[in-house]
Structure 1
Amino acid sequence: MNASHWSAVKALFDAALALPSNERLAYVQAAAVSEAVRSEVLSLLAHSTGGERDEAGFLATPATVGVDGPAAEANQRLGAWKLVEPLGSGGMGEVWLARRADGAYEGEAAVKLLKRGMDSAAVLQRFAQERQALARLDHPHIARLYDAGLSPQGLPYFVMERVKGEPLDQAARPRSLPERLDLVLQLADAVAHAHRNLLVHRDLKPSNVLVTGEGQVKLLDFGIAKALDPLAEGGDAEVTVAGPRPFTPSHASPEQVRGEPVSTATDIYSLGVLLYQVLTGQRPYGREARTPQEAARAVLDEAPTRPSALQAPAGDSDWLRTRERLRGDLDNILLKALEKEPQRRYATVDALARDLRAYLGGYPVSAHAPSRGYLLGKFVRRHRLAVSLGGAAVLALAAGGGATAWQAHVAGQARDQAQRQLQAVQRITADLVFRYGDTATTLPGGPQAQEALLKETLAQLDPLAREMPQNGLLQGLRAQTLARLAELLGNQTAANPERADEAQRYTAEALSVGQPLWAEQHRDWRFALWYSRALRIQAQLWRAQGQIDRGLAAQKECIQLIDQALPFVPSGLAPLDVLGRASLLAQRALSVLEVGQLHSQPNLPSLNQPEEALRWYAKAEPDFQALLKDRAMLEVLDRNGVPGDPATAVYLAHQLGTVYGANALAYLRLDRLPEARAAIQAALALRRANVQAEPRNLIWRDGLMVESNTEAVVALREGDWAGALSAAQRAWDTAAQLAAEQGPQSKWAGAPRYLAAQMGRALVANGRAREALPILDRGLPLLKAQVEKTPLPVHRRRLGGLLLARVAALLALGQRAPALQELQSARTLLIELRDSEPGETRDAQLLLAEAAALGLSLQPERAAAWREEGLTALEQAAKVQPLARDHEALRERLKGPAS
């Protein structure tokens, strides 16, 4: 036995040992190796485990690793994670629940610890090569893969997002056929996203596709199948000669069983198997297979049974009706996905998904030959009423000798009617989505109604867009609808941050559809407006993830595109021309404003450049002022507005108030408190006037909440305790009212995470510490959850400030022990922030000085240490920017006697 032969034997034997005993024989039989290698491995398996029999052997006992003990145990650390309890085990290894243990943030994950025999060095090498590609998999239906490494016992492990749910086949059983198809379409979207990023899953099966309690699909284990592939790029030269590829026989493609190279067609085949199981509850072939070997042979040798020809599953009383729905299109879709030859399957996952959506919408599918009778039948089913009304006349004429001429006549009429219908759809959709829809969005319950309207509109547009891909106007309308939905779900003013992933999906699709249309359609101000608004939302979503540079690029592109579109809007006073010009000018001013906010905004990720922010605000303010002064424009817009729309001047006053509020925040960053006070008072004057004019408008009330919170910050820094409490109470009450109206999923339900600190500090300063603690305790878990999900520096700094507010409240109530414990937690977080985030250094130092002053009161016996720590922190903060009056007051407090 030479080295090459032994390497092949060892690779196949080790891989087989990693599988359950009842799967090993089929795996070895299906491997692309020589008969000599296969015989040697089968002999080794027979002597060590009893081959395919379930006899007890050394592999039937709990897994151990040489003399090093168990593969894993509770409380064991793997990198930044600590194992808590096992969640399950399988052929590849064990899965453990793990919790974050390095203090960076709190969180749970699932850790997959691979068994011995997975060739750990090669696995990790291949995984490292895949990491960059896997990092691109940002999709709501793909479980994130966080990290990988080697355990102390030398076993590879993967850290993945923990998903609580049922396997796809189990979750599908109680659902209707359309609901089952929806689950598969979610999965198809995830796989298509991966394919666009040049990644193939290789192991699609029910246990790798979980469905959460909310009906959301999550695809697991991306990247692991390739990492375990001995024939993947970078593998050992000897192993690649004859090494086996891991796969699951019951869901593998024929090329996988034959050991041939895999491609996106492999995933398409496995999707077909899953779709077959979801719709029928049975496998497409090999239903009598009792061993993995028989299942693997069935993949190669058996043709899949036509789904509608299956016998009723045991206990399924509804099978006859299901079988009728499978007959025809679904039969053809499934059989096309399950073609043995890759080139005969669907070319892409998107093509498979398009057919499924076409089926659901009653449209022709590509898997069915486009015969005249088939297309006519589809038309009849979609338009039953019209056909029933005209059916008698058609049949009468068809019975005569002029059937052919009549068919041509009917076809011509149908084309004309279809064109008129499309034009009507475009007009109606444009009005519903873009004209009348905005009014509803600002009223209580309106955003939910608008979301439902937009999604229903998309459901009607999608089949039309698929049938007429060359119709630019229709594609543009779809892009605009996607952009409107993206803005509703993703804008930073009123959207729930928890829905950012969904907003990102709609934004990306709107830009993907719209970008190729820009050159042709940017002369249409409606298209230009909504495409640029999608870019603005993309910028806001990137900012929320801490990707400031990408956000700036998107906002500046938005400004450039609007400048391209503006010259094509006529300059007269025709209502639509005035609306188009005003809308684009206001949109450009908003992007200019948001470029400034990207340079500096204390409670959101920014570049921390307040001087630069003020320069951008100085560009936005005159644009809004000019629009407000254009009386002719205001009159035209208000005269032709939709009933219930806000007055144009009120809308522009709101945007101007946003500029003033942004100025106040920038002045606060620069410690220019008098200017901050003047700016916030100007903003509040506009906010109050708007709320008085339209007291039910959600956006105006949100503006009042935001600026009231800023006023509380200014008052706290000025030492105006009564004013701070009044402003903080106004912000808190407004948020509570909005949350009560809009429900627990709204943005305002989460508002305590950034309002609680000001409200709590103001209550403590006014001698009402006992009322402050419940307020602070409302905000703390919300802010911790935000830090856990998005541990950006700005969120961690806000958490440190909130913890210090709790320390002050506990101290005022005489609860010194919990106050000291909380103080230490805050100091640990702030010291890490100071040392790891240069952009947060000054704020962290100022908060550490505040922490030292609290420590001075809590531990007078350590007065010297606390004084030194606090004064040093202030000294370091002063090197970045001179101290303000409130900071100097803090310095004097630290120098004075302990209290």
Structure 2
Amino acid sequence: MNMPLPCPPEHWSAFSLRLDEAMAMPEAEREAWLAALPASDVVLAPYLAAVLRHLSAPETGAPPLHAPRLSPTAEHRPGEAVGPYELLAPLGEGGMGTVWRARRADGAYAREVALKLPHAHLLVGSVRERFERERDILASLVHPHIATFLDAGLSERGQPYLALELVSGQPITTHAQQRALSVAQRLALFDQVLAAVAHAHSRLVAHRDIKPANVLVNTQGQVKLLDFGIAKLLHGQDDGLALTRESLPATPRYAAPEQRKGGVITVVTDVYALGLMLHELLSGQAAWPQGWREAQSQPPLPSSVVAEAALRRTLKGDLDAIVHKALQPEPAQRYASVAALAEDLQRYRLGRPIAARRITPWVRAGKFVQRHRLPAALGLGLAASLLAGVVGVAWQAHQASEQARRAEAVKNFLISVFEGADPRLAGNRARGMTPVRELLDRHASRIDTDFATDPQLRIELLGLVAALYRELDEPAAAQRFADRFLTLATEHLGPQHAWVLSARVERLAQVYSQGDLPDCRSLAAPLDAEIRQAGLDASELRAAWWLNTALCHADAPERGPERLRWLTQSEALFARTAPGSRGHVTAWVELANLHSAAGRFEPALQGFQRALALAESQPRRNEVELQTLHGNMGLTLQQMGRLDEAAAAYGRAAEVAERTVGAAHPTSWEPRANHLRTLHLAGQREAAWALLPELQAAIEAAEQRPDVRVLMANTREHIGERMAAEGRGAQALPWLRSAVALHEQSSTYPFAHRRALRHLGDALARAGEESEAGRVLADALARYEAADPAGRQAVVAARERYARWLLAAGQSAQAGAQFERCIADAESKTWAHVALAQAGAARVALMAGRLLDAQAHSAQALATWSTVTGFRDVRMQAYLWRVRAAVLERDPSTRQEAGALWAKALAAAQRTDAPGAATLTQPQTLPL
């Protein structure tokens, strides 16, 4: 039964904060503390006094009815069951509840957890609904530096519980003190904390109670942030989207001013708590040693509270300024985000000017010397300090002048490019008639000659032109200028300059898009060390490297766990350094793709939804990203069997593409072909084929373009495969033969070539070309077996289709062996082709007169279909009904049931097969 609140509900927020403050001080000081409460909190005094008296009373005393029970041993005992968990030992307690080490007792999984048991009276309103909603949000915070949220619920007795990853370690400040870590090492640990908080902020979840006790460092030196969003889970009532929230209970010593005043909480509330932690981590002392009452203004700077002279010198200046800005009493004066705080710390490490501090020419010159120690030492070693200052100021002025000159030169170059479209100039075409590509082609070649004496400006312009060609979807021209940019930048700026490294990471993406994954991996490997040596490990560049390295291993299924780790790190770092950027969206997309490829469709769908929301929220929406996202969501929904939703998602992808580049553009073909194919899979045949004429005209118009072979092959394959699937094998053959030939010419995606061969073999069989069909299907299966393990879904699908051909060719024994192998290789998988293999085994048994085996296999096929995951076609169920009907016909007692199944199968075939297909006139042949 829930306990009543120990104070009127309208005072609970302030009461909870004050109670935590009182419990943190010795008992002897509490009475004086009560007497000194400010006028605004005097109303709380009697309620606080009652609870504090109870806490000090002997255990035998009866508790007052309005007092919360705060002792874990009084409420719970080892061995007690709370929901599906068994309590093992208490780990700690506080004003919000208790924490126990516990284990899962229902056998769902074997692991120990940290089980938080909040006091029941803290929960009001629609508890169960709120728990179910919020636990899904918190469980989505998958990050290497956030303790995993596992579960939440209510026990049968109404006890709320929160199950989290059990972390063994020390608070970050204790860890740093005991190991006497250097300032650089402490900042490296703090970077991990920032990455974790930024990751959650990007998902609209704030922490609200960041303090050293909630940041543990394990034995491997890795940070784990605890209790993320717990206050939100206990008290949240928003719509799940807004990060801003009214004030919630927090540890007073680490609460921001707006929390203490009951104001609005935003991301900068967490920035304040991070500033307090950074202060304590650097100085070794809490910013407010005595508690909340002391925290009425800004704390002293870290350098002012340390005794060691060397440490004081290190902290003074930039680090003091960073902490000072994070701890501004007014939220608007702090860092605007965790990413901004992280960026300033990165500038400090790189010796660059920080945003938190107004920089003088002297300081700027000093930082330049720090970044270029050897050249500075050689050039300025004999100069007097006054001369050094003058040179620094002159250098700064010169740099500003040079930047202005280069900006003017870039502007003039671009103006000269687009003057080519001015119809007022002699020889120019009418307005709007000169394509941008042609304008660039005319003038880009001038860069090397017009700017031959200014290498840096030449480098900038080459990079700009490469980007313009890339946006115009001219990959060959873009690569030509990108290569020139990289050569010159390496020559003039050095191999570890950020521009050079960025260009090399961009090159990874280009090589990946061309399908050359071995080359992609060979280019990625040396970049790892070079990014680290350049001091860019916490930059957007590193996030892009992780992303592209994961993509470069897309053909290595055994590297799945590493790819998941790389993509998770990439997404978290993008969230810190470039939230909402194209790289950030792509990291989410690839994370979702990885989940989808592993059959984890729910997290895949959630990932695509997050990416889509992020992409659509940007001021300038990237249509290419939106098209990809809708398409990937379509594929995931298709794998989940939600075919109507999948078709709608593919339709949105096609609409975006056609709105952006037009229906005839190759970029539009594949999403529209996927739309057609998914409508057909869902049984909407007429709607599917209504899309064909325009699509066919577009691809025939681009027949001779070698740069669109892969898109052409995929589009033709989708159309041909669907024609064959509904019984139009002869019409499907030209489409599929063309697709196979195009895949052979490109050799970029061998898995697509294997898939097209299997579909071609199927069409040949349906067209009556049995001999060639058998050869092609056997070839496809051999290629699958050589490339993939026997239990992979694609191998099972190829084997099942070849087995059906063997059965149609009268080779029932060989067909039966292949069907049985499909079933054995797939083990307990619920794939559509496993159901087809079980139906095939039933047909073989029926032909051999083994009625009981046929009955068992046909029943199992329908049972598998009812739980199928991944690819499916509504026509498959009609085929399974026909097989089952043929089996039931052999038993007089089930012939009536067989007749009903034949009727259902025939009705389905009329909806989904072409008129005149074998399924209508010869159901006894059981084709698919």
TM-score higher than 0.5 = yes
Contact 2:365 2:389 (C-alpha < 8 Å) held by counterparts? no
Look up the match of 2:793: 753
Give the AA of the match of 1:269.
Y
Look up the match of 2:674: 597
Are 2:554 and 1:442 aligned? no
Question: How many angstroms does 1:121 deviate by?
Answer: 4.4
Which of 303, 325, 329 in structure 1 is aligned with 2:318? 329
Structure 2 unaligned blocks of 5 or more:
62-68, 240-245, 411-453, 467-481, 484-502, 543-576, 638-644
Task: Give the whole-Å Cα distance in 1 for the aligned partners of 2:765 and 2:222.
Answer: 45
Residue pairs, 1:635-714, within 5 angstroms: 649-668=705-724, 670-691=726-747, 698-699=748-749, 701-711=750-760, 713-714=762-763
Residue pairs, 1:420-459, within 5 angstroms: 421=456, 424-425=459-460, 427-428=462-463, 430=466, 431-432=482-483, 438-439=510-511, 441-448=514-521
Question: How many angstroms does 1:210 deviate by?
Answer: 8.6
Structure 1 unaligned blocks of 5 or more:
75-82, 235-242, 288-293, 313-318, 465-474, 519-530, 564-584, 630-648, 692-697, 740-748, 785-797
Which secondary structure does the structure 2 equivalent of 1:367 belong to? coil
Look up the match of 2:660: 561
Residue pairs, 1:125-274, within 5 angstroms: 127=130, 134=137, 150-156=154-160, 180-195=189-204, 200-204=206-210, 224-229=230-235, 245-248=248-251, 251-257=254-260, 261-273=264-276
User: Residues 309-357 of structure 1: CA distance to partner in whole angstroms, max 9, x if unpaired?
Assistant: 7589xxxxxx98x998766434432343244554543233332233234
TM-score by length of 2: 0.61
Which secondary structure does the structure 1 equivalent of 2:265 belong to? coil
Question: How many angstroms does 1:849 deviate by?
Answer: 2.0
Contact 1:363 1:463 (C-alpha < 8 Å) held by counterparts? no
Contact 1:139 1:501 (C-alpha < 8 Å) held by counterparts? no
Check 1:130–1:487 CA distance in 2 against 1; reply closer, same or farther (3 A cut): closer
Using CA pairs below 8 Å that are at least 6 residues apart, which structure has the higher relative contact order?
1
Contact 1:134 1:145 (C-alpha < 8 Å) held by counterparts? no
Residue pairs, 1:412-811, within 5 angstroms: 412-413=401-402, 416=405, 421=456, 424-425=459-460, 427-428=462-463, 430=466, 431-432=482-483, 438-439=510-511, 441-448=514-521, 516=620, 531-546=622-637, 548=646, 549=648, 552-562=651-661, 588-601=665-678, 609-629=684-704, 649-668=705-724, 670-691=726-747, 698-699=748-749, 701-711=750-760, 713-714=762-763, 727=776, 730-731=779-780, 734=783, 752-760=792-800, 762-763=802-803, 765=806, 767=814, 799-803=831-835, 805=837
Look up the match of 2:478: none
Check 1:661–1:761 CA distance in 2 against 1; reply closer, same or farther (3 A cut): closer
Question: How many angstroms does 1:663 deviate by?
Answer: 0.4
Task: Give the whole-Å Cα distance in 2 for the aligned partners of 1:534 and 1:626.
Answer: 26
Question: How many angstroms does 1:553 deviate by?
Answer: 3.4
Contact 1:625 1:656 (C-alpha < 8 Å) held by counterparts? no
Give the AA of the match of 2:798.
Q
Check 1:426–1:387 CA distance in 2 against 1; reply closer, same or farther (3 A cut): farther
Task: Give the whole-Å Cα distance in 1 for the aligned partners of 2:160 and 2:457.
Answer: 57
Question: How many angstroms does 1:598 deviate by?
Answer: 2.9
Give the AA of the match of 1:711.
L
Task: Give the whole-Å Cα distance in 2 for the aligned partners of 1:308 and 1:341.
Answer: 22
Once the two structures are overlaid, the 10-residue window that deviates more, 14-23 or 91-100, is: 14-23
User: Residues 645-692 of structure 1: CA distance to partner in whole angstroms, max 9, x if unpaired?
Assistant: xxxx4433332222210102332454433333442222112222333x
Which of 896, 905, 927 in structure 2 is aligned with 1:874? 905
The alignment covers a number of residue pairs equal to: 744
Which secondary structure does the structure 2 equivalent of 1:354 belong to? helix
Look up the match of 1:348: 337
Task: Give the whole-Å Cα distance in 1 for the aligned partners of 2:768 and 2:312.
Answer: 75
Identity fraction in percent: 20
Give the AA of the match of 2:158.
G
Which secondary structure does the structure 1 equivalent of 2:359 belong to? coil
Give the AA of the match of 1:303.
P
Task: Give the whole-Å Cα distance in 1 for the aligned partners of 2:921 and 2:222.
Answer: 54
Question: How many angstroms does 1:597 deviate by?
Answer: 0.7
Question: How many angstroms does 1:39 deviate by?
Answer: 0.8
Give the AA of the match of 1:852.
R
Check 1:201–1:723 CA distance in 2 against 1; reply closer, same or farther (3 A cut): farther
Contact 1:532 1:558 (C-alpha < 8 Å) held by counterparts? yes
Task: Give the whole-Å Cα distance in 2 for the aligned partners of 1:17 and 1:821.
Answer: 69
Contact 1:753 1:778 (C-alpha < 8 Å) held by counterparts? no
Which secondary structure does the structure 2 equivalent of 1:200 belong to? coil
Task: Give the whole-Å Cα distance in 2 for the aligned partners of 1:35 and 1:349.
Answer: 37
Check 1:155–1:397 CA distance in 2 against 1; reply closer, same or farther (3 A cut): closer
Look up the match of 1:60: 73
Task: Give the whole-Å Cα distance in 2 for the aligned partners of 1:244 and 1:409.
Answer: 51
Look up the match of 2:546: none
Look up the match of 2:568: none
Which secondary structure does the structure 1 equivalent of 2:831 belong to? helix
TM-score by length of 1: 0.62
Contact 1:846 1:877 (C-alpha < 8 Å) held by counterparts? yes
Give the AA of the match of 1:37.
Y
Task: Give the whole-Å Cα distance in 2 for the aligned partners of 1:509 and 1:129.
Answer: 22
Task: Give the whole-Å Cα distance in 2 for the aligned partners of 1:817 and 1:208.
Answer: 63
Look up the match of 2:356: 367
Task: Give the whole-Å Cα distance in 2 for the aligned partners of 1:479 and 1:454.
Answer: 22
Task: Give the whole-Å Cα distance in 1 for the aligned partners of 2:353 and 2:70.
Answer: 56
Contact 2:117 2:160 (C-alpha < 8 Å) held by counterparts? yes
Look up the match of 1:852: 884
Give the AA of the match of 2:516.
L
Contact 1:772 1:809 (C-alpha < 8 Å) held by counterparts? yes
User: Residues 760-810 of structure 1: CA distance to partner in whole angstroms, max 9, x if unpaired?
Assistant: 4535856266666666666568xx6xxxxxxxxxxxxx7244255368669
Task: Give the whole-Å Cα distance in 2 for the aligned partners of 1:87 and 1:379.
Answer: 56
Check 1:395–1:137 CA distance in 2 against 1; reply closer, same or farther (3 A cut): farther
Contact 1:337 1:346 (C-alpha < 8 Å) held by counterparts? yes
Contact 1:490 1:537 (C-alpha < 8 Å) held by counterparts? no
Look up the match of 1:291: none
Contact 1:284 1:305 (C-alpha < 8 Å) held by counterparts? no
Contact 1:13 1:45 (C-alpha < 8 Å) held by counterparts? no
Check 1:445–1:399 CA distance in 2 against 1; reply closer, same or farther (3 A cut): closer
Task: Give the whole-Å Cα distance in 2 for the aligned partners of 1:423 and 1:260.
Answer: 53
Contact 1:284 1:304 (C-alpha < 8 Å) held by counterparts? no
User: Residues 709-740 of structure 1: CA distance to partner in whole angstroms, max 9, x if unpaired?
Assistant: 4335546777988867755565566567667x
Give the AA of the match of 1:623.
A
Question: How many angstroms does 1:193 deviate by?
Answer: 1.6
Which secondary structure does the structure 1 equivalent of 2:355 belong to? coil
User: Residues 374-424 of structure 1: CA distance to partner in whole angstroms, max 9, x if unpaired?
Assistant: 333333444556656754798799379999767645653466579863661
Are 2:113 and 1:40 aligned? no
Q: Over alpha carbons, which structure has the higher Rg?
A: 2
Task: Give the whole-Å Cα distance in 2 for the aligned partners of 1:484 and 1:728.
Answer: 37
Once the two structures are overlaid, the 10-residue window that deviates more, 840-849 or 454-463, is: 454-463
Which secondary structure does the structure 2 equivalent of 1:350 belong to? helix
Give the AA of the match of 2:208.
R
Question: How many angstroms does 1:757 deviate by?
Answer: 2.8
Question: How many angstroms does 1:852 deviate by?
Answer: 3.4
Which of 119, 122, 130 in structure 1 is aligned with 2:125? 122
Contact 2:88 2:102 (C-alpha < 8 Å) held by counterparts? yes
